[in-house]
Amino acid sequence: MNSKLTETQQKAICSKLGNVKLKLLYKASIHGFTGADFHQHCDNKSATVSVGYNKSGHVFGGYTSQPFSQSRQFVNDDQAFLFSFSREKLNTYPVTNAPYAVKMDMNSGPNFGDTLILVYKNRKEMYSNPGSLGSSFHKKLYNFTAEKMHGNNLDLTECEVYQVEESSQFENPWRTVNWNSEQKKTLMERIESYKPSISSVSEARVLLVGPVGAGKSSFFNSFKSIFKGHITSQATPGTSSTSVTTLFRSYTVTPGREGKSLPLVFCDTMGLEAEVGAGLNIAEISNIINGHIPDRYQFNSSVPLQSEAQTFRKNPELKDKIHCVAYVIDASKISIMSQKMEDKLKAIRKTVNSSGIPQLVLLTKIDEVCPLVKEDITNVYKSIYIKELMQEASIRIGVPLFCVVPVKNYSEVLRLDTNIDILLLSAVDQMLHLVDDFYDEQRK
């Protein structure tokens, strides 16, 4: 059987479920549009994703962690959700009244609490009740609109049910990491003692670029926390849909309370937004990497800094320019990245490539997409799913796989964790290796 659900759509759904893959169990056009056919292939199998396709081209459905049966009873499932696709973008509608999340219906296909029913009453149709009618529990069961879910078209062309299966993990990690305090100490010492190979440059300058909410500011705060010995928050992290960072900032780190700053500067920018005229203006990238923009410059999404402006640095030296660009990408969103965002990143990469500046990807929030990694961060290089996301990031951003580095920023805990620190320090260590390559090219 061939899946009608596209690879991108499957990845979008799996990104909500963790380190999993989908196995097709039931396809109505082959097995039949009846409740009996559905139950024959899907009963007693969990968890499942049910997908409906209608004549107007809408793709929608639901997830339940509970096995289907023919008991005619409602089943409690606080993990259930409905979903729909707007093109390739996944919209989800979590259950709000878990005891009625799923109904075991003998004469229909998948039934999500009498709110959404596929293969309704053994017909090539669906039933939809977004909450405007029905009993009190229907009104707040799943919050969706019929127009957005399925365009008010109840005629099905296909119905599929997939079993959710755990993806296997590698027996041996595909990248070797020493997860111990000695490795952390070694990495810290290597970063502290780093010295640029060009005498006119005292600090490596790394530019952080990425979509709003990906974790640019959080990455710097997390790295700084390691050298301070406690959680810090100098750069303001954001959680909203628009960029919290509006100024160009150059951040340094001083270990402990006193002493000499690390030979490394992180430059934070306004976050990227998919829409034209919003977020960082990609025309500003050339000004940034070539050292024309001063610290605390106020970004303007509409107009980049002009060469005749008073704040424009006219004759920057190598020490003022960017020596490495790090794209900060949310692992949970890489598979559902919009075409507009991907186009912006490609345009930035083209500009950076023309300057010969090395680039890498920081893949953040890896614990949010893989239960294996959430359970133990040292499983990061054992997870097949994380490797697949890294490979996808490599392709979408256009950098070699060895330039894709998974990290976890500090966002919830109050104490440092050695293994999280090792991932963060390893990422910076890789940046400095790339910076050295850049300096070698500058001397030619």
Q: What is the pLDDT of residue 241?
A: 52
Please provide the DSSP assignment of 47-85 as one string. SEEEEEEETT--EEEEEESSPB-SS--EE--TT-EEEEE
Mean pLDDT of 225-234: 88
Q: How many CA atoms lie within 13 A of 153 on its CB side?
A: 14
Q: What is the pLDDT of residue 168?
A: 64
Contacts (Cβ under 8 Å, ≥6 apart) of 32: none
Q: What is the DSSP letter of 308?
A: T
If asked whether residues 271 and 409 sit together in one domain, one would say: yes
If asked whether residues 62 and 208 sit together in one domain, one would say: no
Of the listed ranges 182-191, 261-270, 309-318, 409-418, the one predicted with least confidence: 309-318
pLDDT greater than 50 at residue 135:
no
**pTM score of the predicted model:** 0.69
Over residues 354-370, the pLDDT tens digits come to 999 999 999 999 998 88
pLDDT greater than 70 at residue 242:
no
If asked whether residues 130 and 216 sit together in one domain, one would say: no
* Residue reference for tokens 């997908």: 51
If asked whether residues 126 and 274 sit together in one domain, one would say: no
Q: What is the pLDDT of residue 237?
A: 59
> Quick one: what percent of the chain has pLDDT higher than 90?
64
pLDDT greater than 60 at residue 137:
no
Mean pLDDT of 338-356: 91
- Within a domain: 30: yes
Q: How far apart are CA 186 and CA 428, in angstroms?
A: 13
If asked whether residues 281 and 214 sit together in one domain, one would say: yes
If asked whether residues 145 and 244 sit together in one domain, one would say: no
Map residue 361 onto helix, strand or coil. strand
Q: Look at residues 281, 323, 276 and name the one whose alpha carbon lies nearest to residue 306.
A: 281
* Residue reference for tokens 């306004």: 270
* Residue reference for tokens 């190598």: 318
Tell me what the pLDDT averaged over the chain comes to.
Answer: 89
The CATH number that applies at residue 201 is 3.40.50.300
Domain closes at, from 104, 132, 166: 166
Over residues 313-334, the pLDDT tens digits come to 888 999 999 999 999 999 988 8
- Within a domain: 175: no
Q: What is the pLDDT of residue 46?
A: 86
Over residues 76-134, the pLDDT tens digits come to 999 999 999 987 789 999 999 999 999 999 999 999 999 999 999 999 999 998 864 34
If asked whether residues 393 and 251 sit together in one domain, one would say: yes
Q: Give the structural domain span for 276.
A: 181-443
Q: What is the DSSP letter of 155?
A: B
Helix (H) or strand (E) holding 86: strand 81-86
Q: What is the pLDDT of residue 270?
A: 85
- Within a domain: 173: no
If asked whether residues 133 and 223 sit together in one domain, one would say: no
Q: Give 274's pLDDT tier (boundaries 50, 70, 90).
A: confident
Calculate the dihedral angle through the C-alpha atoms of 61, 66, 68, 70, rounding to the nearest 10 degrees.
Answer: -120
- Tell me if 168 sits within 8 A of 178, measured CB to CB: no
pLDDT greater than 50 at residue 427:
yes
pLDDT greater than 90 at residue 413:
no
- Within a domain: 422: yes
If asked whether residues 343 and 259 sit together in one domain, one would say: yes
Domain closes at, from 102, 136, 166: 166
- Within a domain: 2: no
If asked whether residues 52 and 197 sit together in one domain, one would say: no
Q: How many CA atoms lie within 13 A of 35 on its CB side?
A: 18
- Within a domain: 174: no
Q: What is the DSSP letter of 211?
A: B
If asked whether residues 230 and 349 sit together in one domain, one would say: yes
Q: How far apart are CA 8 and CA 90, in angstroms?
A: 10
Over residues 250-260, the pLDDT tens digits come to 899 998 777 78
If asked whether residues 155 and 253 sit together in one domain, one would say: no
Mean pLDDT of 44-73: 96
Residue 25: count other Cβ atoms within 10 Å of its Cβ. 19
- Within a domain: 210: yes
- Within a domain: 1: no
Of the listed ranges 272-276, 285-289, 336-340, the one predicted with least confidence: 272-276
Mean pLDDT of 382-411: 93
Domain closes at, from 166, 192, 226: 166
- Tell me if 172 sits within 8 A of 28, measured CB to CB: no
Burial zone of 3 (CB within 10 Å; 0-12 exposed, 13-18 middle, 19+ buried): middle
> For the chain, how many structural domains are there in total?
2
